[in-house]
Amino acid sequence: MKQAVRQIAVLAALLTLALFICRLTMFRTYTVRIPISDTMRARLEKDGVQTSVGAPHVLEVGDVRVRPGYVSLQIHPDQAGETEIQIRDQSGEQTWHFYLHVSPLGTVYDPQTEGFSGDSALMVAFTLFWLAVSAVMTWHFFQMKGPSFYAYTTIFYAGFAIFTLVTGLVTLVVTVRHILHPEHFSMFDGYSAINSASVHFMILTTPAILAFAAAMMISNIALLRHERIRLRNFLGILISLLLVAGNAIGWMLFSSDVSGSEMEVRIRNTLNNTYATVFAYFECMLAGSVICGVKAARHQPTLDRDFIVILGCWFRKDGSLPPLLRGRADRAISFWREQKESTGKEAVFIPSGGQGRNETMPEAEAIRRYLLSQGVPESAILPETRSANTYQNMAFSKEIIQDVRPDGRTVFATTNYHVFRSGIWAAQAGLTAEGIGGKTKWWFWPNAFMRECIGLLQRRWKQEVILLVLLLAIFGLLSIIL
């Protein structure tokens, strides 16, 4: 993550430098555009346009042209200050008044449109920044391979690559419109694209969120038809309702009329952006978790493993394996046989799991018996019978590996929805390993995976809060300034 932050900081510095150079060398003048009707256009084209400057020492008006829908004036700054400019037709029946400011650096600022010298270059720079950040995030996401993939950082890369891409595309559309039709798309639109990035992201991703919520609802209803009615089995429905309600509240806030003083409008926009930032943040984290979880579940490690750790879970009182645990064991056996047939290398199984209060034997022993029933030789099985959770599965299995072959290559087998989180536990236990996932019912996977996502975020709630506060500060400040 530190490398990505450094790269983004360098990008921001380079774009700022390029923007400053462009401002000094290319954008010395500013063009004012005043909307006019077709009737006024015909009159001005026939009679001409007269201009006068209240303080000629501040700036001078250059080329004046009558265009379809507007009159354009080239403004050349001379020295710092502000002045009124008056434009009228020959008869004096129609007059326009507006003020311009010139900064000490010679930048012309138009308070009527919020435009200024080089504003198009600024919009291009912001567009390039968002798209470049998305490219950096995407590149780092695909660089996370093997055991390094199982990290919270990977979730950030995936989620915020989407956020910055959508924001960059929105800013790109606004920038192109501002460059091609500045009379219709002023810098107000540009500022809105910048300080309301979270609002635009939330609006544009609404269809995807609603589709995801519907899929979660359908799978959860199917789950309740097959499983016992208990609180944990309602998680998918709860997530779906929260997503739909969150979007509905957002649309109500964004579509309501805003009136009052300029400060009241800014406060209202800041509150809207704050809400959208919170929602977009968790939306990105959810998207990142789903992407990482699916990729981890579909991953196929190379067939060169010395050990296969099978993560245990509940089994039946007679010692037989229920579908969930049998799916893990079968996936491990499938990998073991595929590797043996392809390379001739026979890996050692490490079924891992201790004995719970209501269990008749250690989970590892139940898995060992199943492996033997499937034709696995007893010499290829080294049970780990002390662990009580996933972290201990990894830590105690590592001790066995260190005793047998410290440099051995390891793969762990678990259920598909549990692969990514298990990989994080393996990394924290110091076990370098990749995961493979056993299949489960389509209606069981989404609800169980949501529990995994919540577990991932819950363990890092302090870091999540710090990052969220930082984002709120950035977009809140932009709302007040812009």
| Percentage of residues in the chain having pLDDT higher than 90 | 37
Query: 318: which 2 tokens?
Result: 């007679």
pLDDT at 140: 94
pLDDT at 312: 92
β-partners of residue 53 are 85
Where does the pLDDT of residue 369 fall: very low under 50, low under 70, confident under 90, or very high at 90 and above?
very high
Contact residues for 366 (Cβ-Cβ < 8 A; gap 6+): 312, 315, 319, 320, 321, 325
pLDDT at 434 over 60: yes
pLDDT at 425: 93
Same domain for 334 and 404, yes or no, is yes
Closest listed residue to residue 138, CA positions, set 15, 14, 4: 4
As a whole number of angstroms, the distance between CA 394 and CA 383 comes to 13
Question: Tell me: the pLDDT tens digits for 218-227?
Answer: 888 888 887 7
Same domain for 79 and 187, yes or no, is no
pLDDT at 182: 83
458 burial type by CB count under 10 A (0-12 exposed, 13-18 middle, 19+ buried): exposed
We report the CATH number of the domain holding residue 346 as 3.40.50.620
**CB 341, CB 375: distance < 8 Å:** no
Same domain for 108 and 133, yes or no, is no
Same domain for 105 and 180, yes or no, is no
Report the C-alpha dihedral over residues 460, 466, 468, 472, rounded to 10 degrees.
170
Share the mean pLDDT of the chain.
86
Top pLDDT among 481 and 78 is at 78
Where does the pLDDT of residue 345 fall: very low under 50, low under 70, confident under 90, or very high at 90 and above?
very high
Where does the pLDDT of residue 393 fall: very low under 50, low under 70, confident under 90, or very high at 90 and above?
very high
In a domain, 424, yes or no: yes
In a domain, 17, yes or no: no
How many domains, the chain?
3
pLDDT at 335 over 80: yes
In a domain, 5, yes or no: no
In a domain, 44, yes or no: yes
Out of 116, 137, 152, pick the residue that ends a domain: 116
Where does the pLDDT of residue 31 fall: very low under 50, low under 70, confident under 90, or very high at 90 and above?
confident
- To the nearest 5 percent, what fractions of the chain are helix, strand and coil? 60, 15, 25
Top pLDDT among 305 and 224 is at 305
Same domain for 47 and 112, yes or no, is yes
Closest listed residue to residue 86, CA positions, set 49, 37, 131, 126: 49
In a domain, 300, yes or no: no
**CB 354, CB 393: distance < 8 Å:** no
Pick from 74-78, 156-160, 443-447 the range whose average pLDDT is largest: 156-160
Same domain for 360 and 282, yes or no, is no
Q: Could you give the 3-state DSSP secondary structure of residue 336?
A: helix
Rounded to the nearest 10 degrees, the angle between the axes of helix 419-428 and helix 445-458 is: 30
In a domain, 271, yes or no: yes
Same domain for 354 and 411, yes or no, is yes
Same domain for 41 and 125, yes or no, is no
Pick from 106-115, 381-390, 472-481 the range whose average pLDDT is largest: 381-390
Out of 80, 101, 116, pick the residue that ends a domain: 116
Out of 91, 116, 141, pick the residue that ends a domain: 116
In a domain, 411, yes or no: yes
The predicted model gives 196-215 an average pLDDT of: 89
**CB 417, CB 437: distance < 8 Å:** yes
**CB 138, CB 83: distance < 8 Å:** no
Same domain for 362 and 424, yes or no, is yes
We report the CATH number of the domain holding residue 105 as 2.60.40
The predicted model gives 140-144 an average pLDDT of: 94
pTM of the model: 0.85
Place of tokens 């019912």: 441
Same domain for 142 and 210, yes or no, is yes
pLDDT at 74: 87
pLDDT at 112 over 90: no
Residue 343: which domain range?
307-458
pLDDT at 136 over 90: yes
Angle of CA points 163, 166, 171, to nearest 5°? 120
pLDDT at 405: 93
Same domain for 356 and 474, yes or no, is no
pLDDT at 385: 94
26 burial type by CB count under 10 A (0-12 exposed, 13-18 middle, 19+ buried): exposed
Top pLDDT among 374 and 41 is at 374
Length of the chain: 482
pLDDT at 292 over 80: yes
